[in-house]
Structure 1
Amino acid sequence: MTARHLLMLLAALLAAALTARLGVWQLDRARQKLALQADIEAEAAKPALTNAQLGGYALHRRVVLRGTWDARHTVWLDNRPMDGRAGFYVVTPLRLSGRDDAILVQRGWAPRNVAERTQLPPLNTSSGEVEVLGRLAASTSRVYQLGEGAGGTIRQNLDTVSFGAETGLRLLPLAVIQTAGPDDGLLRHWPAPDLGLQTHYGYAFQWFALCALILSLYVWFQHLRPRLRRQQP
């Protein structure tokens, strides 16, 4: 074997090993996401937490909370489609009964006025004590935005810490995604959490396919093609 052939072999083996390793890494990431999904399902299967049990924050845990809405601090998160329609996610702080703190509740979805974006639909918010069923999340829904974002009633995202400082509310460092509660006319067809499993599987397939392509090209150009040329009359 000449030095050139040896160099080509080493380059092909190195490239194939690298792409195969990247494929294995993507499969490992998928396995980690599957383990995370199992943890989420295990938390969701546990008994729901009440007001008095919110000392330990277990994400994805079901909750049954009682409190009163702080309606004057309701925020409408823009650019949140649901069922193929443009609209808002409605977020209102819930002042927890028997406690001196509050928690942000992503209550549901409301449609946008296509003719006038800033005209908000009517919102039925009870003034008395309510019972809210939902699950704990790290924060309310977030989408990509440029810069810090503006304040006001309509916003792109809502940061719990800065919103607490803005309103003077003592907010818990998490949020509730409401699944049931008072009849307020809001939709709650929340999308299932996307852990990106199909993305990892897709990348793994691409890396393994590239690995196979590299080996195939090496065998073709370094062995099969020269042999076929020698056999030609």
Structure 2
Amino acid sequence: MTADAGASRAKNASVALIRNWPLTAVSGLLLPLLLGLGVWQIQRGGEKAAINAAIDRRLSSQPRSPQQLDERRRFTTVRMRGYYTRDYRLLDNRTRNGRVGYEVLQVFVGDGQRWLVNRGWLPAPPDRDTLPEVARPRDTREITGFLYPVAAAGETGTAATGRRIQRIDSRIAGRLDLAQPQWTVRLSADSDTALVTDWQLINSPPQRHYAYAAQWFAMAAALVILWLFAATRIPRLLRRNSDNNNDNRGTSS
């Protein structure tokens, strides 16, 4: 047999295995896409894991006074000694465990500077027009937490008392005569003036991206199986070979 004849027979055999070319073409386009999405989600999970590691390093560092910081960065731990003022805002539409409530943003004077401290979450009263009562510690306190940036601009909600806001932004923070209006301090859970904290540090954990990647790879595997059974003659040939082998065993016996 010549080389050209062998190549022609191999080509004809491969063509004979495919019985649905449109489905084959669609599968050939979708498979790289599904695999690429799976790889991308794995990369995203790795990026989020690296971010988590960086956050953990900052949160585990020794807290210092904000005045001692050479550089202010998100999640940098701080400690201040001072007192809370009567000036606070209620950040609306914040949830914990499915319950709607508010986050309490209260001005704290520490080391001679005014800072906006997020003390955590309070549940909302059943009546929308009623605001929750916020207890104000009157004596000197030492608080610990971490820096969190203020948004550049945004919508400001109003209520009858003027305390309810939809988000904290530079416009609101600029009216409070703060030392650093571009930053808030989110209290750590072990601060005695903290409410319910349970801060969400990143929008999605690495495990979620890895789960998405597993889903994309599972879809790719399902596509290959569908293509084998719906677009090729391979299952039929395998059944035929299995039947022939069974017949040969029966004849020999």
- Measured in 2, the distance between the counterparts of 1:23 and 1:84 equals 31
Contact 1:68 1:95 in 2 (8 A): yes
| Greater radius of gyration (CA) | 2
Q: 4+ residue stretches of structure 1 with deviation over 6 A? A: 2-7, 228-232
Any conservation in 1 of the 2:187–2:197 contact (CA below 8 Å)? no
1:105 aligns with 2:117: yes
Contact (CA 8 Å) 2:77, 2:145: kept in 1 or not? yes
- Kept in 2: contact 1:43–1:58 (CA 8 A): no
1:134 to 139, 145, 154: 145
Judging changes above 3 Å, is the alpha-carbon distance between structure 1 residues 26 and 135 closer, same or farther for their aligned structure 2 residues? Answer: same
- TM norm structure 2: 0.72
- Per mean C-alpha deviation after superposition, the further-off stretch among 208-217 and 102-111 is 102-111
Q: Sequence identity of aligned pairs in percent?
A: 28
- Check if 1:51 corresponds to 2:66: yes
RMSD: 3.2
1:77 counterpart = 2:85: no
CA distance in 2, matches of 1:36, 1:8: 42
Structure 2 CA distance for aligned equivalents of residues 69 and 176 of structure 1: 13
Q: Point out the structure with the larger helix share.
A: 2
Q: Is the 8 A contact 2:101 2:121 kept in 1?
A: yes
Counterparts of residues 1-233 of structure 1 (less than 5 Å):
1=15, 9=24, 11-72=26-87, 74-82=88-96, 85-99=99-113, 102-114=114-126, 116-127=127-138, 129-139=140-150, 148-151=155-158, 152-159=162-169, 161-179=170-188, 180-181=190-191, 183=193, 187-194=195-202, 195-221=204-230, 222-225=232-235, 227=237
1:190, distance to aligned residue in structure 2 (A): 1.6
Superimposed CA distance per residue, residues 161-219 of structure 1 (whole angstroms, 9 cap, x where no aligned partner): 11133344443422211124455xx6234245353323312321221112112211222
- Give the structure-1-normalised TM-score: 0.77
Structure 2: gaps spanning 5 or more residues:
1-14, 244-253
Aligned length: 219
Gaps of 5+ in 1: 141-146
**Cα deviation per residue 1:70-96 (whole Å; 9 max; x = unaligned)?**
423x11112223355442211012234
What is the Cα deviation at residue 97 of structure 1?
A: 2.0
1:65 counterpart SS class:
strand
Q: Is the 8 A contact 2:150 2:181 kept in 1?
A: no
